Homo-oligomer: A and B are copies of this chain.
């Protein structure tokens, strides 16, 4: 392999000397990309770290705009006609297009450039000060200085920062792939459209408006490529043909209208925490089955082919249990691939007064649960929330939308304030949709036989809004390591996964 890549190096030098454009060829493109990231890895990582040092919470308007400007400038330098589409004060949608003479098709690439909000205190290093480690910190990785040009990089090294994986890694990989192809003046085979979302982690509240308003820009798209999420937990690369949808609600249960001394009133004033606990316990049983009426009814049933694809997925469950320190998983260790095909009721957070050293001897006035719902194809987000509300009512609660006033408090012994989120539908693309075969063939050049064709990812992407403006198939190409701490503290990208991304994009950009 070493000799082979040396041979390509020598060949590249020759091609560069010629400086003549070469016809798109994915096999050659992948080889070029591989040599390119080996020789330029240090610079690629440093430039990526620069991008990651821009804070990117969508709610932080100044910084999110700075991200958009920086990213658009990079693609403009690489032959894209860039626009920052605007919608009120929302983060801009980064749009770009590169025309290719004799293009075989138009591929739209979706990425999001915003990141989850950060709780800095939980991070080993500040989330926007990228730091390199020899391995995952949790695995005992040691801190490294940023590499100098020519340094040899180990694929197991990790770069830590918010959005290192979710979802700036595809941006860095795509830029490097374009640079790699440029070194040998290799043609692209498709027109490329860029659609970079700036508020995905806030639920992409304006994405549908953006797309509908600019529908014409996407008229000729033949394939939507979604670049987000992790590779398979087995470590193997994957193409994914579906995602779960998502929605959720906050539920607040009320006790007395102020904190009451737990000695004077404990055993008399109703504790909101007990009520919330009973309500939650009524929603999900000991066998981890959701007990809300109708919760499993609207999901599309799987067919024999779906079950076959699930069965071919690598069995990573026991390895994941070891990885995450779990003696057992839900529903008696039922397989992850199967569980993802069911809607999920998640408890994202609980809050009532304080615990630990901060706890006071008070009966708190309220207790809140943040409930997330993951949806499968067929589930309507608001209809699923209706079911949860019907359950809360069945448990005897009066539901309010605002803080209850004195009259409501005096009327109803059980009051629940429900604050609904919006939501995304789930999406699934048939494995035999047009153009998928060519994509899979090209991608196997980067991914090898390892490539998994995954019928459904557990995570959520705003795919349904693309269904609304286009009939073209939607496929997800993730590159991040699965243990990237996505959405949590110490998010990171494994360098080997970043490099795989460069090769994968080289293959896509030049696919037959």
A residues near B (Cβ < 8 Å) are 116-117, 119, 138, 229-230, 243-244, 246, 248, 250, 255-271, 273-274, 276-278, 280-282, 284, 286, 288, 321-322, 324-330, 334, 336, 339-340, 342-344, 346-356, 358-364, 367-370, 372, 374, 406, 409-413, 419, 457-460, 482, 485-489
In the bound complex, do residue A353 and residue B361 qualify as a contact, i.e. CB atoms below 8 Å apart? Answer: no
CA distance A258 to B487 in the complex (A): 11
Q: Nearest chain B CB to A433's CB is how many angstroms away? A: 23
In the bound complex, do residue B352 and residue A268 qualify as a contact, i.e. CB atoms below 8 Å apart? Answer: no
Q: Nearest chain B CB to A375's CB is how many angstroms away? A: 10
- Given A246-B361, A263-B459, A273-B347, 10 extra CB contacts under 8 A: A117-B360, A250-B355, A259-B489, A268-B330, A269-B324, A269-B330, A271-B346, A277-B347, A278-B281, A350-B367
Q: Return chain B residues, CB-CB under 8 Å to A229.
A: 264
Q: Return chain B residues, CB-CB under 8 Å to A259.
A: 485, 487-489
Q: Nearest chain B CB to A194's CB is how many angstroms away? A: 24
In the bound complex, do residue B261 and residue A458 qualify as a contact, i.e. CB atoms below 8 Å apart? Answer: yes
Assess A325 versus B267: contact at CB under 8 Å? Given A349-B355, A354-B349.
Answer: no
Q: Nearest chain B CB to A447's CB is how many angstroms away? A: 20
In the bound complex, do residue B352 and residue A352 qualify as a contact, i.e. CB atoms below 8 Å apart? Answer: no
Q: Return chain B residues, CB-CB under 8 Å to A244.
A: 263
Cross-chain contact of A262 among B361, B372, B489 (Cβ < 8 A): B372
CA distance A354 to B364 in the complex (A): 17
Cross-chain contact of A280 among B260, B269, B273, B486 (Cβ < 8 A): B273
Assess A264 versus B359: contact at CB under 8 Å? Given A269-B329, A281-B278, A413-B328.
Answer: no
Pick 27 A–B contacts, CB within 8 A, sort by A: A138-B258, A250-B355, A256-B326, A258-B488, A262-B346, A264-B458, A267-B344, A268-B330, A268-B334, A268-B339, A269-B324, A269-B326, A269-B330, A270-B326, A273-B349, A274-B280, A274-B281, A325-B406, A328-B413, A347-B352, A348-B353, A350-B355, A350-B367, A351-B352, A351-B356, A355-B370, A360-B488
CA distance A362 to B349 in the complex (A): 9
CA distance A131 to B436 in the complex (A): 72
In the bound complex, do residue B459 and residue A325 qualify as a contact, i.e. CB atoms below 8 Å apart? Answer: no
CA distance A370 to B250 in the complex (A): 21
Q: Return chain B residues, CB-CB under 8 Å to A264.
A: 229-230, 340, 457-459, 482, 486
Cross-chain contact of A409 among B116, B326, B354 (Cβ < 8 A): B326
In the bound complex, do residue B262 and residue A348 qualify as a contact, i.e. CB atoms below 8 Å apart? Answer: yes
Q: Return chain B residues, CB-CB under 8 Å to A458.
A: 261, 263-268
CA distance A369 to B419 in the complex (A): 23
Q: Return chain B residues, CB-CB under 8 Å to A116.
A: 360
Q: Nearest chain B CB to A426's CB is how many angstroms away? A: 10
Q: Return chain B residues, CB-CB under 8 Å to A488.
A: 258-261, 360, 362
Cross-chain contact of A369 among B321, B346, B355, B485 (Cβ < 8 A): B355
In the bound complex, do residue B356 and residue A117 qualify as a contact, i.e. CB atoms below 8 Å apart? Answer: no
Query: Which residue of chain B is the closest to A230 with respect to CB atoms?
Result: B264
Q: Return chain B residues, CB-CB under 8 Å to A274.
A: 280-281, 284, 288, 347
Q: Return chain B residues, CB-CB under 8 Å to A362.
A: 348, 487-488
Query: Which residue of chain B is the closest to A270 with respect to CB atoms?
Result: B330
Cross-chain contact of A360 among B278, B280, B411, B487 (Cβ < 8 A): B487
In the bound complex, do residue B288 and residue A270 qualify as a contact, i.e. CB atoms below 8 Å apart? Answer: yes
Q: Nearest chain B CB to A390's CB is how many angstroms away? A: 19
CA distance A508 to B457 in the complex (A): 75
Cross-chain contact of A324 among B256, B271, B281, B356 (Cβ < 8 A): B256
Q: Nearest chain B CB to A386's CB is how many angstroms away? A: 20
Q: Return chain B residues, CB-CB under 8 Å to A327.
A: 409-413
